[in-house]
């Protein structure tokens, strides 16, 4: 079995005590007032002249939305900067390594660069390799990622840690920004609001949090963007390959594949699985079959004991941890199985009822977030396509329930202190409601058919 030391023992301690408190406190102050998604209440876009009353009102509300989102973004990113821009390798408030979670990827890359692949799956050896970079010798990240990711980070490990973290933070920002652009380009009704879109993206709380902790969730959201592009081009091969990139975390890949399979796209599901397997098999000549086998064994071990990676559930958003905080263990497992099947089924229903690539990828990301057994707030960046898809509907149609669910989903990560004191994850409840309303909106025909309905693979 893997060592008892957990990724979350090490990572989440810093998040809530230092870095997380800074972001949560500053966000709660700035999230009051009009609300991040107030612009969703704007009247529907019409082809009338730009000087008519509805268009003027919508323009005014978009301007107001941009101002509020920009203010929240400035506060969030200032909190991040205050922690990171400080002398030395440790954060100003957290007193953990800057980037925190990035330590495991940097160390994995350095081990791969040296050819020490055996240490990537050995808890003791992997912990020993991290200790020179950690302030507490008794804590370390467990070996939960595969040798393919270690090889990916090997080039970054050749530069000093802080430079590598800065480069990764920059690449993460580029991937998230590119995803926003890709999704907005597939929502023509949002074409008039590029500044508002950028401000909202910058103000989404999981984005600065992702940069703060140095995680790799940008890879996942970029994979979803690639999937939207492939679906728009009617390429099942491309869509399956894109979704298969989620295989860097098996906990993300499994629910995504289930949505595709139940959504009437078995070929996409099969290609996704084949892609994930191929990426792992491809590193065998470099990492060795023993290293890959050991990674698979570790993955299965953590799947049997997921609580090893979920010490602070108030910083998580999945249905599994939601029920574990409320019910006895066996009852929680049953509730998770039923509710997880329900959200996957709802997303699959959307896949069967619409050919819109953005809405398909949006609900896939939403269902993946809820059904994954292990998901922290930084992984909520996977919801970017869902936000853009919902916004594209809201600027064309009056959908009160969808408007409020979208708004609440945006600010729900700020409710982490509530979960810490009440043992209830508000974000999970909100995301379930959002998925249900979005599925009903699409399935009932209430969604606008144009202009946001490019044809895609069915």
- pLDDT > 50? residue 44: no
pLDDT in tens, 300-310: 888 887 776 66
> For residue 139, with 0-12 CB atoms within 10 Å meaning exposed, 13-18 middle and 19 or more buried, which class applies?
middle
- Residue ranges per structural domain of the chain: 7-443
Cα–Cα nearest to 254, from 27, 262, 143, 401: 262
Q: What is the pLDDT of residue 315?
A: 83
C-alpha count within 13 angstroms, C-beta hemisphere, residue 309 = 24
**What mean pLDDT is predicted for residues 280-294?**
92
Q: What is the pLDDT of residue 20?
A: 44
Q: Which two tokens stand for residue 287?
A: 């990492």
316 - beta bridge partners? Answer: 376
Q: What is the pLDDT of residue 29?
A: 32
Q: What is the pLDDT of residue 13?
A: 37
Residue 78: CB atoms within 10 Å: 13
**What mean pLDDT is predicted for residues 185-193?**
89
Highest mean pLDDT among 62-76, 170-184, 406-420: 170-184
Judge if the upstream peptide bond of residue 446 is cis by omega within 30 degrees of 0.
Answer: no
**What mean pLDDT is predicted for residues 232-260?**
96
- DSSP-assigned letters across all residues of 31-67: T-TT-TTGGGGSPPP-SS-TTSHHHHHHHHHHHHHHH
Cβ contact 375:266 at 8 Å: no
- pLDDT > 90? residue 207: yes
Cα–Cα nearest to 124, from 294, 300, 305, 375: 294
Q: Which two tokens stand for residue 345?
A: 């089924």
90 - beta bridge partners? Answer: 97
In 175-279, the DSSP E strands lie at none
Cβ contact 225:179 at 8 Å: yes
Cβ contact 376:101 at 8 Å: no
Which residues make Cβ contacts (< 8 Å) with residue 72, sequence separation at least 6?
27, 30, 31, 36, 203
For the chain, the average pLDDT equals 84
- pLDDT > 90? residue 54: no
- Cβ density class 55-65: b for 16+ within 10 Å, e for less: beebeebbeeb
Q: What is the pLDDT of residue 398?
A: 81
Long-range (24+ apart) CB contacts under 8 A made by 72-78 are: 72/27, 72/30, 72/31, 72/36, 72/203, 73/199, 73/202, 73/203, 75/26, 75/27, 75/29, 75/30, 76/23, 76/26, 76/27, 76/30, 76/203, 76/205, 76/207, 76/208, 77/202, 77/208, 78/26
C-alpha count within 13 angstroms, C-beta hemisphere, residue 148 = 18
| Residue whose entry in the numeric block shows the structure tokens 């590598």 | 164
Cβ contact 253:244 at 8 Å: yes
CA–CA gap between residue 273 and residue 276 (Å, rounded):
5
- Cβ density class 246-279: b for 16+ within 10 Å, e for less: bbbbbbbbbbbbbbbbbbebeebbbbbbebbeeb
């Amino acid at each position: 079995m893997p060592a008892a030391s957990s990724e979350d023992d090490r990572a989440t301690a810093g998040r809530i005590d230092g870095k997380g408190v800074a972001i949560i406190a500053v966000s709660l102050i700035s999230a009051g007032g009009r609300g991040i998604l107030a612009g969703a209440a704007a009247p529907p876009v019409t082809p009338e002249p730009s000087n008519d009353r509805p268009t003027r009102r919508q323009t005014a509300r978009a301007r107001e939305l941009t101002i509020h989102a920009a203010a929240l973004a400035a506060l969030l990113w200032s909190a991040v900067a205050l922690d990171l821009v400080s002398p030395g390798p440790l954060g100003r408030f957290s007193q953990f390594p800057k980037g925190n979670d990035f330590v495991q990827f940097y160390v994995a890359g350095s081990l791969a660069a040296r050819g020490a692949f055996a240490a990537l799956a050995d808890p003791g050896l992997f912990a020993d390799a991290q200790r020179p970079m950690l302030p507490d010798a008794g804590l370390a990240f467990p070996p939960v990622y595969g040798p393919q990711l270690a090889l990916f980070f090997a080039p970054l490990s050749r530069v000093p840690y802080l430079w590598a973290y800065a480069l990764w933070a920059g690449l993460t920002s580029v991937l998230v920004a590119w995803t926003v652009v890709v999704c907005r380009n597939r929502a023509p009704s949002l074409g008039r609001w590029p500044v508002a879109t950028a401000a909202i993206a910058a103000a989404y709380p999981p984005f600065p949090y992702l940069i703060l902790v140095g995680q790799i969730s940008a890879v996942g959201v970029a994979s979803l963007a690639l999937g939207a592009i492939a679906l728009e081009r009617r390429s099942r091969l491309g869509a399956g390959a894109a979704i298969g990139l989620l295989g860097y975390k098996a906990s993300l890949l499994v629910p995504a594949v289930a949505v595709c399979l139940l959504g009437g796209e078995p070929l996409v599901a099969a290609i996704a699985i084949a892609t994930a397997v191929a990426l792992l098999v491809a590193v065998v000549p470099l990492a060795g079959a023993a290293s890959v086998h050991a990674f698979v064994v570790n993955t299965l071990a953590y799947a049997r004991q997921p609580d090893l990676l979920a010490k602070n559930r108030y910083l998580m958003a999945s249905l599994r941890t939601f029920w574990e905080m409320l019910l006895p263990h066996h009852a929680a497992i049953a509730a998770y199985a039923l509710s997880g099947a329900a959200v996957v089924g709802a997303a699959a229903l959307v896949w069967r009822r619409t050919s819109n690539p953005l809405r398909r990828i949006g609900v896939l990301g939403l269902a993946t977030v809820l059904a994954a057994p292990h998901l922290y707030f930084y992984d909520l960046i996977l919801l970017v396509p869902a936000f853009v898809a919902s916004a594209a509907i809201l600027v064309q149609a009056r959908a009160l329930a969808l408007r409020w669910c979208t708004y609440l989903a945006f600010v729900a990560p700020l409710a982490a202190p509530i979960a810490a004191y009440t043992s209830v994850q508000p974000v999970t409840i909100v995301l379930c409601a959002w998925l249900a309303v979005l599925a009903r909106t699409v399935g009932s025909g209430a969604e606008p058919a144009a202009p946001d309905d490019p044809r895609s693979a069915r």
